Structure 1
Amino acid sequence: MTSLAPARHVILRSPRERIALRLPVRALVVIGLLVLALLALSAVSLATGSYGVSLNELVETLRGITISRAIDNVVWEFRFPRTLAAALVGAMMALSGAALQTVTRNGLADPSLVGVSQGAALAVVAVMVLFPQLGPIYRPWLAFGGSILVAVLIQWLSHTREGSNAIRFILMGLGVSAFISSITSALMTYGEIDRALSALAWLAGSINAATWGDVLTLAGWSAVLLPALLVMSRAMAAMRMGEAAAIGLGAPVQLVRPALVTVAVGLAAIATSVVGPLGFVGLIAPHAARRLAHAGMGFHLVLTALIGALLVGAADLIGRAAFALIQIPAGLLTALIGVPIFIVLLARAQVRPQ
């Protein structure tokens, strides 16, 4: 049974009304539009490149009909895994930012700003330069270890007797990030030239080398971490109002907070270990989701993931199509978009009382 509530909500009820869902109409419409936009962007991404593929050829190829071996190789072996990897990485980085902003109650929190991505990058670069014999299979675990250590360090450094402070948290994150980045640069400067060049290409945040193995890695970890985040969405909604209010509402804050930090770090670390650091996606997507539609935490997470996927997918497409024969890393484009937004948000945070 379906009915419309006065406040522009759709209420879904089971036959015996044992289950009832109150769904915001605006959020549902925005989610539908974002899904359509993501599908359209994926189609354009699959058809665009130095080897042009028409829409009819693309549809036939996706149906499993071989038009030519060249088109099959271009679509299935290069563009399709790249498109899927961009969407998965964007969603993971966006959700990591949303989780960090909730657990810290800081709208400026982002994996690339508070050192999480840099910790993952240092761990991966150290392996690439010092221990190249270790295969890519170890990168996600090493990246997670580096990220969680940095996250704990920054939380400890930014905590005061009066509690957490948004500006202090960001400044500590920027300082630790700069320190970690200097160590990463030293490793590349004094490492063997071929290993350093490989690490440098990875640090640019490029998705052009994504393979089906990378897609499976991202999808596998997403299948574990995303449901865990959705399970905690109710507690996250309560934590938005502060720790005391969340405890008063019955949210298991002491249990959810470390779990939420672990999931947030895991999402950013896995994404970083596969394609390299992508800055500001976790900052932009949650704010954009709140502006597009005010909804509960569950819908907010879905909107955030879709916006992150669109952002990284568009950055990757523009990076390889805007300047033919030159591949501009997606990480560079997301930084160009994110820096002005970060400055505006930082200025607003300085005006508001902390």
Structure 2
Amino acid sequence: MTSMSPARHWTVRSRGELLALRMPLRALVVLAILALLLLAVSAISLGTGTYGVALDQVWETLRGVTISRAIDNVVWEFRFPRTLVAALAGAMMALSGAALQNVTRNSLADPSLVGVSQGAALAVVTLTVLFPDLVMTWRPWAAFLGSILVALVIRGLSRTHNGGSAIRFILMGIGLSAFISSITSALLTYGEIDRAMSALNWLAGSINAANWNDVCTLLIWGAVLLPMLLVISRSMSALRFGEAAATGLGVRVAAVRNIELAVAVGCAAIATSVVGPLGFVGLIAPHSARRLAPSGMGLHLLLVALTGALLVMVADLIGRAAFAPIQLPAGVITALIGVPVFVILLVRSRPSNPS
């Protein structure tokens, strides 16, 4: 049973009202628009490249109609997995940023800014340069371990006698990121040239070499991590009001924060292990989703995921088409967009001087 409330909300009730959801109509409309935009960009991405494919040919190929063997190979073996990987990696990086911002109560938290992505990058580069035979098997697990270690170190160092400090979390993350990046640079400098070049290409956030194995990796982990966030979304909403208020509402604050941190690290680590660091996606997507349509935490997470997916897909499309035949990595495009956004957010968060 569904109904429209006067305050422009869509209310869904099950029989007996065992389940009742009240969702802002604007957020639902924006969610549908983002989904349509995602489909449109996907179609353009599948048809764009050195070997041009018309949209009607893309549709027929996806339906299973073989127009030519060349088009089949281009769409199914190269562009389709690349498009899916861009969407999935973008969604996971965006969700990681949203979870980090909630758990730290800091709107500037981002996996690429506070060292989480750098921890994953160092672990993967270490495998690539020193143990290349283990990369394909252990890359996701090494990335997760590197990310979780960095996250735990930053959280421990940012603790004060009065609890966690948002500004200390950011500063510790930036400092540790610089330290980790220096170690990564040393590995790239003194490692064998072919292994270093492979790692360097991956570090740029390139989706050029995406394949169906990468799609499966992201799908499996995404199917595990996203539901975990949705399950604790009500508790995440309570944490917005502070630890004391959340405790008063019956939230197990420590447990929820640990789950949030683990999911945030997991999303960033898996996405980074597949496509490399994607800078500022976790910063831009949550803010964009919040401005497009304020909503409850559960719906906000879905908006964040779609926004992040759209952002990385557009970045990959621009990098592929704007300077063809030269291809710019998606990570370079997201960084070019993210740095001005980060500066703007810093300026807006600056406290005003009393007159």
Tell me the TM-score normalised to structure 2 length. Answer: 0.97
Matched, 1:118 2:121: no
| Counterpart AA for 1:152 | L
Matched, 1:350 2:343: no
SS in 2 for 1:351: coil
| Counterpart AA for 2:114 | V
SS in 2 for 1:179: helix
Residues 281 and 311 in structure 2, CA contact (< 8 A), matched pair in contact too: yes
Cα distance in 2 for partners of 1:348, 1:6 equals 34
Displacement of 1:137: 2.2
Q: Give the equivalent residue in structure 2 for 1:248.
A: 248
Q: Which sections of structure 1, spanning at least 5 residues, go unmatched?
A: none
Cα distance in 2 for partners of 1:279, 1:351 equals 26
Q: Give the equivalent residue in structure 2 for 1:300.
A: 300
Residues 167 and 350 in structure 1, CA contact (< 8 A), matched pair in contact too: no
Cα distance in 1 for partners of 2:312, 2:255 equals 32
| Counterpart AA for 2:224 | V
Q: Give the equivalent residue in structure 2 for 1:291.
A: 291
| Counterpart AA for 1:286 | P
Deviating more after overlay: 146-155 vs 156-165 = 156-165
Q: Give the equivalent residue in structure 1 for 2:61.
A: 61
**Paired residues for 1:226-265 under 5 Å:** 226-265=226-265
Residues 124 and 135 in structure 2, CA contact (< 8 A), matched pair in contact too: no
**Paired residues for 1:95-244 under 5 Å:** 95-244=95-244
Cα distance in 1 for partners of 2:352, 2:200 equals 39
| Counterpart AA for 2:61 | T
**Paired residues for 1:30-109 under 5 Å:** 30-109=30-109
Alpha-carbon RMSD: 1.2
Q: Which sections of structure 2, spanning at least 5 residues, go unmatched?
A: none
Cα distance in 2 for partners of 1:2, 1:274 equals 41
SS in 2 for 1:22: strand
SS in 2 for 1:229: helix
Cα distance in 2 for partners of 1:16, 1:158 equals 47
Displacement of 1:349: 2.7
| Counterpart AA for 2:313 | G
Cα distance in 2 for partners of 1:68, 1:148 equals 47
Cα distance in 2 for partners of 1:217, 1:7 equals 42
Cα distance in 1 for partners of 2:62, 2:80 equals 10
Q: Give the equivalent residue in structure 2 for 1:311.
A: 311
Displacement of 1:332: 0.4
Residues 148 and 262 in structure 1, CA contact (< 8 A), matched pair in contact too: yes
| Counterpart AA for 1:173 | G
Q: Give the equivalent residue in structure 2 for 1:278.
A: 278
Deviating more after overlay: 111-120 vs 7-16 = 7-16
Cα distance in 2 for partners of 1:149, 1:16 equals 47
Cα distance in 2 for partners of 1:19, 1:195 equals 54
Cα distance in 2 for partners of 1:334, 1:148 equals 24
Displacement of 1:352: 6.9
Cα distance change on mapping 1:248 and 1:339 into 2, 3 Å: same
What are the superposed Cα offsets for residues 43-87 of structure 1, whole Å, 9 maximum, x if unpaired?
000000000000111111000000000000000000000000000
Displacement of 1:19: 2.8
SS in 2 for 1:113: coil
Aligned length: 353
| Counterpart AA for 2:129 | V
SS in 1 for 2:156: helix
| Counterpart AA for 1:89 | A
Cα distance in 1 for partners of 2:226, 2:104 equals 19
Cα distance in 1 for partners of 2:318, 2:62 equals 23
SS in 2 for 1:109: coil
Cα distance in 1 for partners of 2:348, 2:155 equals 22
Cα distance change on mapping 1:175 and 1:209 into 2, 3 Å: same
Residues 86 and 309 in structure 1, CA contact (< 8 A), matched pair in contact too: yes
Cα distance in 2 for partners of 1:352, 1:122 equals 39
Cα distance in 2 for partners of 1:212, 1:342 equals 33
Displacement of 1:143: 0.4
Residues 108 and 166 in structure 1, CA contact (< 8 A), matched pair in contact too: no
Displacement of 1:347: 2.2
Cα distance change on mapping 1:350 and 1:168 into 2, 3 Å: farther
Cα distance in 1 for partners of 2:279, 2:293 equals 24
| Counterpart AA for 2:188 | M
Displacement of 1:13: 2.2
